[in-house]
Structure 1
Amino acid sequence: LNRFFLFLYFQVNTQEPAQDFVPHVTATCKGGTMNIKVQFSSPFYGAIHVRDRRIAKCMKQGDGGTAVQMSLNLLAKENSDDYCGILVSNVSGDVRTNLLCFFTKIKIIKQKVYRQKY
């Protein structure tokens, strides 16, 4: 059983009532890699990155599509260049990470927490 935690920060940039921001997240772990796909209901131009790790291997920029995909190295050691803060339990095998999702222009910030179990 693997657990995946997603923390989303997002902005509302309109005077009309904003639609609820509810992305669909899938994550699979295979061969030492966590593959993550975040699907949105509208074009996404923001970025998704692992909490506290804003380096190229730990983040992806949205290009206006409705999905963003990224792969994280589960086997990277803490001091290596591709370490993204992935936590793997030696007891249960649970894999945990926190993702932040943000838009490029911030006026109002709201926070939502989504928990997904795999």
Structure 2
Amino acid sequence: MSRLVKVGMYLLSLQLLFVLVIVNKVDIDINICLGCTYLPWPEISKLAQKNLLLLVYVVMLGASAVFYTVFVSIISDAKDGPIRIGDLEDKNAEHLVFLATYIILFGWVQFG
């Protein structure tokens, strides 16, 4: 599997986190008229500077949406049918360690 595919799958796994952080941390001043035909550039730059990290999250969310469409097109072209898994055996608890590290890291980023 190529690195680009791995990065795409990782971004897809973070898609819900991006949405939650964007909704939680967005800081829009009420005095800005978003429906106006003329929005001054100083106001836009001030808004972008206040929400710079959120803009990065929006870009990453967009990238994950692009990867999603690519993966859907790849899956739709697949000729293999469903695969039946006979047995499943748990070898170790590495997945739990990864999950705990993952949750603690992003909890710190959001609330830190």
Same fold (TM over 0.5): no
Normalised to the residue count of structure 1, the TM-score between the two structures is 0.21
**Higher share in strand:** 1
Q: Which has the higher contact order (CA 8 A, sep 6+)?
A: 1
**Higher share in helix:** 2
